[in-house]
Amino acid sequence: MPTLVEQCREHLGRFVRSGGKVHREVEAAKIVSFLVWVQANDNVLRIDRLGKKQVIGFWRAHRHLSERTTYDYWLAISKLWVWIEKSDEPPRPYSPSELAAKREGWKNPQHAKPESYTDFRLAISAAMTANCLGVDKLATITGVEKGDLETMLSDLDSGRFQHLEQVMVALGMVFSTNP
C-alpha cells in the first residue's frame, strides 16, 4: 500500500510546478509534514480517509507552534482538502487566547466552590445553564416529560416534586440541608 505522501505525489507535483516556486515548495513541505505525521500517528491508509479527527490531532500535537505557523499549516491543509475533494474546510487551530479560554472552561468543577440556592427553580435553572441544557435536552436525559419539567420549573410550590431527584442527578446537583 502506498504511503499517504505517495498517494498525494501527483497533486504535489502539479502544485509546485506553477506559480511562486519557493512559496509553493514551502507549502508543499507543510502538506508532506502533515501527511507524514498522520501516517505515523493515526491508522489512515488512504488519502481519501483523512478527516477532521486527524487535523485536530495534528493541532493538539503541534500546540507549540506560533499562531502564524499554525495558520500557514491550516492554509496548506486546506489546499490538500481541495485536492481530495472534501466538502467542508478543515478545522482551524485555536489561537492562544481561545486556547486559554477553553482551558478555563475545562477546570475541574469539583475543585470549584459549589453555589448555594434556597430556591429549587433557581438552582435547576443555573445548573441547566452551566451544562448548556435546554428543557428538551433535559427531558431526553432524565426521561421526564417536557411538560412536567416546565411545570416544575415554573411552579415548584405546587408540590410537583416527583421528578426532582431525577433532574438533580442528571444535572450533577447535590441536595444538602446545610446552608
Write down the pTM of the prediction.
Answer: 0.56
User: SS3 breakdown of the chain: % helix, strand, coil, rounded to 5?
Assistant: 65, 0, 35
CA distance 59 to 77: 11
Question: What is the residue-wise DSSP string for 125-178?
Answer: HHHHHHTT--HHHHHHHH---HHHHHHHHH-GGGS--TTHHHHHHHTT----S-
pLDDT at 99 (0 to 100): 67
Question: Is residue 176 situated within a structural domain?
Answer: no
CB 94 within 8 A of CB 102: yes
Supply the range of the domain harboring residue 26: 4-100
Same domain as 96, residue 18:
yes
- Could you give the number of structural domains in the chain? 2
Question: Is residue 132 situated within a structural domain?
Answer: yes
- The answer, yes or no, to whether residue 51 has pLDDT greater than 80, is yes
Query: 114-160, pLDDT tens digit by residue?
Result: 566 666 677 777 777 877 778 888 777 777 788 877 877 776 554 45
Same domain as 95, residue 15:
yes
pLDDT at 97 (0 to 100): 67
Question: Is residue 112 situated within a structural domain?
Answer: no
85: left (phi over 0), alpha (psi -120 to 50) or beta: left
Burial group, residue 100, by CB count within 10 angstroms (0-12, 13-18, 19+):
exposed
More confident residue, 176 or 150: 150
Same domain as 89, residue 152:
no
Same domain as 96, residue 45:
yes
Same domain as 90, residue 147:
no
Same domain as 96, residue 127:
no
Same domain as 17, residue 88:
yes
Same domain as 35, residue 83:
yes
Same domain as 56, residue 11:
yes
Query: 27-43, pLDDT tens digit by residue?
Result: 999 999 999 999 988 88
Same domain as 73, residue 38:
yes
Same domain as 65, residue 28:
yes
Same domain as 95, residue 28:
yes
Q: Which cell numbers hold the place of 102?
A: 477553553
Query: 58-88, pLDDT tens digit by residue?
Result: 998 998 888 899 999 999 999 999 999 998 9
The pLDDT confidence band at residue 111, using thresholds 50, 70 and 90, is very low
